[in-house]
Chains A and B, each alone.
Chain A
């Protein structure tokens, strides 16, 4: 375990040094770290606090404000299904049930192998092509239950590589 901590600390420093130590770089730093590790750990928060010279509690406060930042480890692939009105009317419910079945988890959970997290999100601006979801940085639109099966299979294959 110790070696993993040291390794990630080095990676943290590499990320931090890309930014000037200014308060207005906090959100870009948090976004980078969240992307790299899948969450922002207590160690990371302390490193950022020291680098920017702001209290850890404030950093925690900022993280908790944003839906896409997390203090808990998430899956390699975070699936975010839009639940806002136009996607809801376009048949979001069927997609939701299919995702739960295919992944074997409920919304708000992460698979035990750490591969997938399943979440709802508010409007992602794909109302003309609903139902829609984000998988990490990619958007999938006009979803059907069949498409969901294909996408999940593809991600499972890619995740094992």
Chain B
């Protein structure tokens, strides 16, 4: 049996080693190492981290920014909470290396308002690292200056989308923008900006200190490294697990003590709901969505209620800017309420399925493009429960 419990983030770590190694290299060599590692963004979208850094590095100008996206809002996700609470120095080291790599002197942590109780921990860590000369002026006598400021969100799921996050930091409504220009071209204060997820940044010190080849020995070819999984629902041991990418859902379910599961939501509310027939599939960028949120539903759960909960979430969290998302989610929820009352014809269900396609292809950002996934996958896998009830 494949070993699924090999650890990186929950393994050994010495503060400052990765940073020291990074500072001994040229910025483009740091970017190259991250590119070689195959690390992809751990926030859900999976964009290659090294490539993002390279775009920002190549932009001209002295004023650039790096932002740690700590706006973890996907239902069922809580791994960043654990990292920020228990390993804040790792997050900050990763952000500092990112700053050095692209040529930024200022970094930000955008912390969701719901996590305000983590703020003192982060502030204390920043002070401590400054004392150790791992942050602030002339870091480790390298001549590199880097400072970090924390910005608080105020309750808005969509601000986890990188452009919405930047708009929010710029002092506007947190609404996604059309791309291009990408944040690496025009981001915070209209300057080149890299936005990385908390977990993504935590891998950076390891990749620098132990090398890209070592990192690639974890996971699969197209999905290198390990991943933190936030696992909740009808299981014996809810919590955060570090597993190699490519792990099958069955292996995960066994590990957490799933109680007779009939369905699993993989990748959060915006992910997909899978039934037993797909439990043997791997979780990776090529398989089931690797966002990290896994919610297990036991035999007695009413999947229509589950679907309703997800759609209520999307109706509330849609920023309302583009019509397919604002109206679409509302119509899907209305349809579910009709199904609940037994007033929805199959003909109308078919219309709603067409609407899902429209939302996926014409919504402006990831929210509207992925919110129909729960409707589509639950309807497909649980027809008996939903349509023929």
Q: Name A residues whose Cβ lies closer than 8 Å to a Cβ of B.
A: 22-28, 30-31, 34, 52, 61-62, 65-69, 83-86, 88-89, 121-130, 134, 137-139
B151 contacts the other chain (Cβ, under 8 Å)? Answer: yes
CA–CA, A85 to B74, complex, Å?
Answer: 11
Quote the shortest CB–CB distance from A35 to chain B (angstroms).
9
A62 / chain B contacts, CB cutoff of 8 Å = 171-173
Contact code string B72-84 (vs A, CB < 8 Å = 1, else 0): 1111111011000
B153 / chain A contacts, CB cutoff of 8 Å = 27, 66
Q: A125-B78, A128-B78, A130-B232 are in contact. Are A27 and B309 (CB under 8 A)?
A: no
B117 contacts the other chain (Cβ, under 8 Å)? Answer: yes
B310 / chain A contacts, CB cutoff of 8 Å = 85
Cross-interface CB contact of B117 among A34, A85, A89, A139, cutoff 8 Å: A139
Given contacts A27-B169, A27-B171, A66-B156, 14 further A-B contacts (CB under 8 A): A22-B171, A24-B171, A26-B171, A27-B152, A27-B153, A69-B154, A84-B313, A86-B232, A89-B301, A123-B77, A125-B78, A127-B76, A127-B77, A128-B240
Quote the shortest CB–CB distance from B166 to chain A (angstroms).
10
Closest to B188 in A: A24
Are A65 and B173 interface neighbours, CB within 8 A? yes
CA–CA, A130 to B233, complex, Å?
Answer: 9
Are A28 and B152 interface neighbours, CB within 8 A? yes
Are A24 and B189 interface neighbours, CB within 8 A? yes
B316 contacts the other chain (Cβ, under 8 Å)? Answer: yes
Q: A25-B171, A27-B171, A62-B172 are in contact. Are A125 and B117 (CB under 8 A)?
A: no
Are A65 and B174 interface neighbours, CB within 8 A? yes
Cross-interface CB contact of B72 among A68, A125, A128, cutoff 8 Å: A125
Are A66 and B155 interface neighbours, CB within 8 A? yes
Are A84 and B152 interface neighbours, CB within 8 A? no
CA–CA, A125 to B297, complex, Å?
Answer: 18
CA–CA, A52 to B33, complex, Å?
Answer: 43
Closest to B81 in A: A125
Q: Which segment, of B12-20, B40-48, B108-116, B215-223, faces chain A?
A: B108-116
Q: How large is the interface on B (under 10, 10 to 19, 20 to 34, 35 or more residues)?
A: 35 or more
Are B117 and A61 interface neighbours, CB within 8 A? no
Quote the shortest CB–CB distance from B320 to chain A (angstroms).
9
B338 contacts the other chain (Cβ, under 8 Å)? Answer: no
CA–CA, A25 to B170, complex, Å?
Answer: 8
Closest to B305 in A: A88
Q: Would you list which residues of chain B between 307 and 322 have a CB under 8 Å from chain A?
A: 309-310, 312-313, 316-317, 319
A27 / chain B contacts, CB cutoff of 8 Å = 151-154, 168-169, 171
Contact code string B40-75 (vs A, CB < 8 Å = 1, else 0): 000000000000000000000000000000001111
Contact code string B147-190 (vs A, CB < 8 Å = 1, else 0): 00001111111000000000011111111000000000000110
B199 contacts the other chain (Cβ, under 8 Å)? Answer: no
CA–CA, A62 to B76, complex, Å?
Answer: 27
CA–CA, A52 to B172, complex, Å?
Answer: 13
The 10 closest A-B pairs by CB, nearest first: A67-B155, A26-B171, A66-B154, A68-B155, A127-B232, A128-B238, A125-B78, A23-B171, A65-B173, A86-B232
CA–CA, A129 to B59, complex, Å?
Answer: 44
Closest to B120 in A: A137
Q: A31-B152, A128-B230 are in contact. Are A24 and B170 (CB under 8 A)?
A: yes
Are B230 and A61 interface neighbours, CB within 8 A? no
B244 / chain A contacts, CB cutoff of 8 Å = none
CA–CA, A122 to B74, complex, Å?
Answer: 9
